[in-house]
């Protein structure tokens, strides 16, 4: 038996009071003999024995009454197996990720869970609750009910280790056995196991696993701009479904809250594609939408475009052929080409992207100008010559060390910002391009494309992108690879938001605008009534904003300079959460409850079983009554 208020057990010192009183009452009296009382001796002996018994019984009843009342105030209870009560410093984790939009038996999983918590938790119970993006400490259900009921879903999805770390931060001091109520659908976030035994032992853990009854879902996975066709533009999109659906899916394109067009797509082998034809791409500020009863967040994808100012790109080319003029077309790029010997240095500062291709000898003056160019935040792409000199003078590049060895280009860093939105699937088996010799031997940690031995074929060093091998046809077949167009196209657009319909929430995004800021001017992002100040870097002719995880909602954001809108940016949540992969009960390593009601019932049962103070109050009254009866009936 344990005590909730053990300090009150010092009240047992009051037991000394009736003992001291009793000792005074049992003082020995001096015997005085007098005549004619011989026949009273038996009666006197009997009376003294009754009086002694009466005093001892009354003392015992008083001691027991005081003991019971002290125990009652100390609130004794029997410990559970985990040596702690469920309602003592209770911590609740409520998953509010997008996967909790799935339908359960009582509606959307998250909303039904919040309703259960608000309805069934004890009104006076104090607890701490955290979601993927909010924390409430030492609150009652009345204090946070409205916020939970109106809260938005979060694109953030905590791993099991992150949940335990956050719960540990809310743990009260000197309370080693606190209870953690974990409410989630337990969707897999990564390939790691759920938790280890040692991690589990940090808390008196209760898991509530919410399972959807409706798992059929259709998703808009991606949208992109197709090439110009006779003065028009095409917006393509891809759909996926986790079930066989014979009915055509209707897709709507809404621009500025007006229905612009509709089309339909038939899903075959769980995939479908569709496209919209637009005559003007400069005024797109809307979204694509489908109707579905599954997850809601992937039924809509926000899109926006800005003015199509051409990117100024200079190709310093000392090779015999120019394969880049077919990639950098005049509708999107102001493309120019020059040899290193005829280069006008004054034109460098006017460019946004420079590609240095096959130059055998880098003059010190050219290296100095290129370093100034990258220091201004602009993009330099270096394709080396097989044999050359002067490259070490360019920031981020080592000295040439030619090596004749055949290598295959087998690795793609899909998470690098340059390639993040290029591929719809993470392919692992494709027709590998190769090189016959390398000019640099680099194992840079910021690799974009890698050889089969793990060394870099294309890597980034700040604003410089370096190929480690020459790309002429004698040395490599990379020019004929499917990778050449997306890689160079994205390099050309690195300092521009043109051609990008949206960005992902929670990812690092570097977005540039052709805008010159004056001193102390800052850019802001606005969605409805909320404004955010992103990280930003101002250069001579443009400004780059950087977003990570400070934006919480998908939507079309306005880029503001003061109160003037200078651009549009769209952000969407990653589609990873529509994958129906969950931890099995056997992997969770602890008993799993199927609903909040089971935990509430366990809480009530424990409360009724544990609270022993009522019995001690009743015992105290019983012993006081016994004392009254003893004093009255024992003579």
Between 339-343, 425-429, 560-564, the lowest mean confidence (pLDDT) is in 425-429
- Is there a contact between 118 and 145 (Cβ–Cβ < 8 Å)? yes
Domain boundary among 450, 467, 492: 492
Do 73 and 158 fall within a single domain? no
pLDDT digits (tens, 9 = 90+) for 297-341: 999 999 998 876 788 899 999 888 888 988 888 877 889 999 988
pLDDT digits (tens, 9 = 90+) for 121-176: 888 888 899 999 899 998 998 999 999 988 889 988 888 889 989 988 888 665 66
**Two tokens, residue 630:** 């003893």
Of 316, 328, 402, 388, residue with least CA distance to 357: 316
Do 55 and 195 fall within a single domain? no
Do 336 and 458 fall within a single domain? yes
Between 98-107, 454-463, 593-602, the lowest mean confidence (pLDDT) is in 593-602
Distances in Å between the alpha carbon of 500 and those of 307, 313, 579? 12, 18, 25
Domain assignment present for 418: yes
- Cα gap 201→195, rounded to integer Å: 10
- Cα gap 620→55, rounded to integer Å: 19
- Is there a contact between 353 and 494 (Cβ–Cβ < 8 Å)? yes
Residue whose structure tokens are 């002996």: 45
Give the pLDDT confidence score for residue 532 in this predicted structure. Answer: 92
Give the pLDDT confidence score for residue 28 in this predicted structure. Answer: 55
- Is there a contact between 573 and 157 (Cβ–Cβ < 8 Å)? no
Range of the domain at 19: 2-27+40-78+612-633
Do 197 and 325 fall within a single domain? no
Domain assignment present for 121: yes
Do 316 and 464 fall within a single domain? yes
- Cα gap 210→110, rounded to integer Å: 9
Domain boundary among 148, 181, 214: 214
Do 70 and 121 fall within a single domain? no
- Cα gap 26→18, rounded to integer Å: 12
Do 351 and 486 fall within a single domain? yes
For 533, residues 6+ apart whose C-beta sits below 8 A from its C-beta are: 522, 523, 524, 525
Strand partners, 154: 97
Among left, alpha and beta (phi > 0; psi -120 to 50; other), residue 411 is beta
pLDDT digits (tens, 9 = 90+) for 122-132: 888 888 999 99
Task: Return contacts of 339-348, CB within 8 angstroms, 24+ apart.
Answer: 340/316, 340/366, 343/316, 345/369, 347/314, 348/314, 348/373
Give the pLDDT confidence score for residue 33 in this predicted structure. Answer: 64
- Cα gap 285→569, rounded to integer Å: 9
Domain assignment present for 205: yes
Residue 572 has pLDDT above 90, yes or no: yes
Greater confidence (17 vs 560) lies with 560
Do 486 and 344 fall within a single domain? yes
Q: How many domains does the chain contain in total?
A: 3
Give the pLDDT confidence score for residue 497 in this predicted structure. Answer: 66
Between 71-85, 330-344, 596-610, the lowest mean confidence (pLDDT) is in 71-85
Do 46 and 121 fall within a single domain? no
Do 70 and 106 fall within a single domain? no
pTM: 0.69
Do 73 and 131 fall within a single domain? no
């Amino acid at each position: 038996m344990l005590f909730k208020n053990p300090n009150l057990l010092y009240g047992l010192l009051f037991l000394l009071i009736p003992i001291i009183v009793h000792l005074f009452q049992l003082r020995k009296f001096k015997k005085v003999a007098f005549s004619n009382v011989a026949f009273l001796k038996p009666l006197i002996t009997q009376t003294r024995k009754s009086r002694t018994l009466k005093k001892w019984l009354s003392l015992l009843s008083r001691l027991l009454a005081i003991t019971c009342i002290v125990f009652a105030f100390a609130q004794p209870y029997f410990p559970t197996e985990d040596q702690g009560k469920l309602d003592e410093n209770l911590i609740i984790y409520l998953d509010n990720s997008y996967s909790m939009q799935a339908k359960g038996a009582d509606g959307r999983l998250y909303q039904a869970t919040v309703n259960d918590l608000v309805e069934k938790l004890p009104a006076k119970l104090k607890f701490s609750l955290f979601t993927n993006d909010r924390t409430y400490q030492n609150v009652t259900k009345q204090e946070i009910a409205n916020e939970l009921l109106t809260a938005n879903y979060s694109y953030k999805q905590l791993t099991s280790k992150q949940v335990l770390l956050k719960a540990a931060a809310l743990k009260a001091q000197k309370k080693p056995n606190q209870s953690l109520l974990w409410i989630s659908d337990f969707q897999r976030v990564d390939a790691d196991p759920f938790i280890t035994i040692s991690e589990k032992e940090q808390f008196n853990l209760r898991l509530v696993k919410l399972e959807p009854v409706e798992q059929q879902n259709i998703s808009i996975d991606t949208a992109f701009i197709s090439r110009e066709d006779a003065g028009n533009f095409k917006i393509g999109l891809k759909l996926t479904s986790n079930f066989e659906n014979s009915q055509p899916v209707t897709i709507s394109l809404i621009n500025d809250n007006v229905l612009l067009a509709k089309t339909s797509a038939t899903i075959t082998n769980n995939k479908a594609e569709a496209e919209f034809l637009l005559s003007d791409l400069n005024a797109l500020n809307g979204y694509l939408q489908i109707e579905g009863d599954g997850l809601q967040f992937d039924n809509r994808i926000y899109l926006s475009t800005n003015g199509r100012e051409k990117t100024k790109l200079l190709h310093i080319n000392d090779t015999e052929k120019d394969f880049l003029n077919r990639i950098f077309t005049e509708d999107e790029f102001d493309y120019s080409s020059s040899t290193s010997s005829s280069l006008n240095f004054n034109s460098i500062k006017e460019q946004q992207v420079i590609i240095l291709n096959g130059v055998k000898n880098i003059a010190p003056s050219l290296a100095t100008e290129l370093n100034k160019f990258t220091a201004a935040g602009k993009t330099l792409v270096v394709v080396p010559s097989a044999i050359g000199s002067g490259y070490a003078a360019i920031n981020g590049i080592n000295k040439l060390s030619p090596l004749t060895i055949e290598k295959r280009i087998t690795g793609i860093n899909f998470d690098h910002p340059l390639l993040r939105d290029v591929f719809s699937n993470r392919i692992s088996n494709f027709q590998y391009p190769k090189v016959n010799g390398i000019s640099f031997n680099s194992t840079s940690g910021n690799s974009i494309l890698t050889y089969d031995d793990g060394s870099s074929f294309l890597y980034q060093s700040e604003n410089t992108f370096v190929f480690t091998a020459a790309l002429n046809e004698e040395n490599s077949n990379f020019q004929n690879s499917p990778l050449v167009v997306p890689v160079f196209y994205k390099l050309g657009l690195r300092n521009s938001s043109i051609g990008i319909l949206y960005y992902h929430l929670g990812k690092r995004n570097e977005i540039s605008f052709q805008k010159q800021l004056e001193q102390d001017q800052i850019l802001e992002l606005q969605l409805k009534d909320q404004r955010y100040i992103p990280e930003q870097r101002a250069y001579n002719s443009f400004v780059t904003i950087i977003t990570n995880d400070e934006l919480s909602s998908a939507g079309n954001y306005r880029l503001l300079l003061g109160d003037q809108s200078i651009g549009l940016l769209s952000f969407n949540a990653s589609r990873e959460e529509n994958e129906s992969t969950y931890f099995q009960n056997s992997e969770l390593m602890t008993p799993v409850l199927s609903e909040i009601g089971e935990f509430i019932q366990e809480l009530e049962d424990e409360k009724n079983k544990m609270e022993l103070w009522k019995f001690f109050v009743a015992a105290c009254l019983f012993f006081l009554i016994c004392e009254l009866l003893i004093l009255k009936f024992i003579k």
